[in-house]
Amino acid sequence: MANGKILLVDDEPAFRQLAQSWLSQTGYQVETAADLSAARAQLSRFDADLILLDLSLPPQFDPQHTLQALAEFNSRPVIILTGHAERQLALDAIALGAWDFIAKPVDPDLLAVVIKRALSKHQLDTELQQLKQQQQTDAGLQRLIGVSPPMVAMRTLIQRIAPTDVRVLVTGPSGTGKEVVSRALHELSRRAAQPFVSVHCGAIPAELLESELFGYVKGAFTGADKDRPGLLKLADNGTLFLDEIGEMPLPMQVKLLRVLQEGTYFPVGGREQHKIDVRLISATNANLPQLVQKGLFREDLYYRIKGITLETVALAERRQDIPLLLQFFLEQLQRQHRQLLKLDSTALSWFLQRDWPGNIRELKNTLESVAAVAQGGVISMADISLLHPEAVTTPSVVTEIAADSLLLDPAVQQLEIQLITRAMQQSGGNKTRAALLLGLSRQGLLKKLQRYKLTYHEM
Which one-letter DSSP state was computed for residue 40? Answer: H
Residue 186: the pLDDT is 94
Rounded-to-integer distance, Cα 125 and Cα 119, Å = 10
Q: What is the pTM of this model?
A: 0.61
The rounded distance, in Å, linking the Cα atoms of 283 and 199 is: 10
What's the confidence (pLDDT) of residue 48? 92
- The three-class DSSP label of residue 318 is coil
Number of other residues whose CB lies within 10 A of the CB of residue 61: 11
pLDDT at site 376? 85
* Cβ proximity of 456 and 429 under 8 Å: yes
User: CA torsion angle for 418, 421, 422, 425 (degrees, to 10)?
Assistant: -170
**Distance (Å) of CA 131 to CA 26, 59, 95, 126, 195:** 30, 42, 28, 9, 21
Taking a C-beta distance cutoff of 8 angstroms, is the pair 347, 398 a contact? no
Picking from 209, 173, 199, the residue whose alpha carbon sits closest to that of residue 284 is 173
The pLDDT value given to residue 403: 42
Task: Give the N- to C-terminal CA distance of the chain in Å, as an integer.
Answer: 30
pLDDT, residue 405, reads 45
How far apart, in whole angstroms, are the C-alpha atoms of residue 392 and residue 382? Answer: 10
Contact 412, 329 (CB under 8 A): no
- The per-residue pLDDT string of the chain (459 residues; one tens digit each, 9 = 90 and over) reads 357 899 999 999 999 999 999 999 989 999 999 999 999 999 989 989 999 999 889 898 888 888 888 888 878 899 998 877 677 888 888 888 888 888 888 888 888 999 999 998 888 877 666 655 555 545 557 788 888 889 989 999 999 999 999 999 999 999 999 999 999 999 999 999 899 999 999 888 888 898 999 999 888 888 888 888 999 999 999 999 999 999 999 999 999 999 999 999 999 988 888 999 999 999 999 999 999 999 999 999 999 999 999 999 999 999 889 998 998 999 999 988 888 888 988 888 899 888 899 999 999 999 999 999 988 889 999 899 989 888 754 444 344 444 444 455 666 677 778 778 878 877 778 888 788 777 777 887 888 888 877 776 665
Say if residue 310 is exposed, middle or buried (CB neighbours under 10 Å; 0-12, 13-18, 19+). buried
d(CA 325, CA 333): 12
- Residues sharing a CB contact under 8 Å with residue 430, sequence separation 6 or more, in sequence order: 458, 459
Task: Give the Cβ contact number of residue 311 at 10 Å.
Answer: 15
Cβ neighbours around 214 below 10 Å, total? 24
Return the pLDDT at 41: 92
